[in-house]
Structure 1
């Protein structure tokens, strides 16, 4: 059964290639996402036309589409006393009425003719800090713990600004994007929760097991 509309897409944003000194890779980045008109096709491991420069750390099946809530963007705009336009977080989908941090790992969203699945939180990096020119952004973003949600493409299709976001299924384990983010960034007491969410990428399950391993077993021999 389709649940009531959770919210809507305000803007679909596609990355442009930039060559800058503050990237994590080889001097190029696709973090600069800009709004596009019309509908965009979601297929394979991303949106058609989107730029992913650092494929080691970004993109791929589990990070195909990134959503960030405009309500959370408004908090940052007030905090930094500056405008943060659509795409400022490197997000593909700028949403309203969607609790991206409270989204459950594995829940599925119907957006336009696509179906997307919540997969993992975004972890901030120095490319993000350089993009905003805020040197301590990683620390501040981690403390704020409102990371936005990465999504997998389950059913290919088209989406665009104005589309409703409908949650069409939600796993019963209740493990949220926010819990996973806090577990990965220092709140180790939440590590067992990661193992309760089978939809998380296997690498995050591996990290959770390492967090839970006795200290003696983590020491090199």
Structure 2
């Protein structure tokens, strides 16, 4: 299936209540129309509250496959609008099992490269009211993924998505996600070494794998 952009979504961080405390989160995004500029670290009009775990050059654009929406609507028992999972790009034809780390795409004028899986966090639980939703994301592999920006440019909700390069290593997004979610007994040191050498994989992910290797966490 050809890749396609279904919705372009942005949103600034807002304050919400979670477990009796105030939480700042950028997960509440809304679809937008018209041309918008994508810089090296985010789309104009977008923002992240937790700059340690979200945003930055390797996580400039969050992508989520629309194919998963039907599954989550059934699981959550409700209809879902675009940007339901805080993604910037809601897409089709880009499943985590098919998209590989280092693959390069053009969206509008911008050129983007797949950098890492999206690792689900508790803010999904806050938004949808399901305590174990991050665990469900990991079990299904329906995580989404991130782009880094190789060339800045304008895009809009009707922009084409064209794949420019398929990375030679052919390490899928879901392979990296499974390793990130693995227990020490299931980790293969050779696989960790292979991932560490994959320079197109985000630096924070490679550092995590290097730490596991150094600590013998396998």
> Does the alignment reach a TM-score above 0.5?
yes
Q: Secondary structure at the match of 1:6?
A: coil
Q: Which residues of 2 match residues 127-142 of structure 1 at below 5 A?
A: 127-142=123-138
Shift, 1:76, TM fit: 1.2
Q: How far 1:43 sits from its partner (Å)?
A: 0.9
Are the equivalent residues in 2 in contact too, given 1:7–1:98 (CA < 8 A)? yes
Q: Pairwise CA RMSD of aligned residues? A: 2.0
- The size of the alignment, in residue pairs, is 211
**Partner-residue secondary structure (3-state), 2:120:** coil
Question: Partners in 1 of 2:135 and 2:48 — Cα distance?
Answer: 24
Change (3 A) 1:105 1:57: same
Q: Does 1:75 align with 2:71?
A: yes
Q: Which whole-Å CA distance do the structure 2 matches of 1:82 and 1:174 have between them? A: 36
Please list the CA deviations of residues 91-139 of structure 1 after superposition, one character each: whole Å capped at 9, or x if unmatched: 0000112224421111111111110110011111111211111111121
- Give 2:12's aligned residue: 16
CA contact (8 A) 1:121 1:148 kept: yes
Partner residue, 1:121 = 117
What CA deviation, in whole Å up to 9, does each residue of 1:152-189 have, x standing for no partner? 11111111122221110121111111111110111523
Q: Which residue of 1 aligns with 2:201?
A: 200
Aligned to 1:161: 157
User: Does 2:45 match 1:46?
Assistant: no
* In 2, Cα distance between equivalents of 1:33 and 1:196: 35
Once the two structures are TM-superposed, the CA of residue 66 in structure 1 deviates from its matched residue by: 0.5
Corresponding residue for residue 171 of structure 1: 167
Is 1:35–1:87's contact at 8 Å kept on the other side of the alignment? Answer: yes
Give runs of ≥4 in structure 1 deviating > 6 Å: none
CA distance in 2, matches of 1:74, 1:132: 15
Report the Cα distance in structure 2 between the residues aligned to 1:35 and 1:101, rounded to whole angstroms.
26
Q: Which secondary structure does the structure 2 equivalent of 1:27 belong to? A: strand
SS at match of 1:150: strand
TM-score, length-scaled by structure 1: 0.88
Which segment drifts farther, 62-71 or 152-161? Answer: 152-161
| Equivalent position SS for 2:91 | strand
Whole-Å Cα distance in 1 between the matches of residues 67 and 91 of structure 2? Answer: 8
Q: Is the 8 A contact 2:196 2:207 kept in 1?
A: no
Unaligned runs of 5+ in 2: none
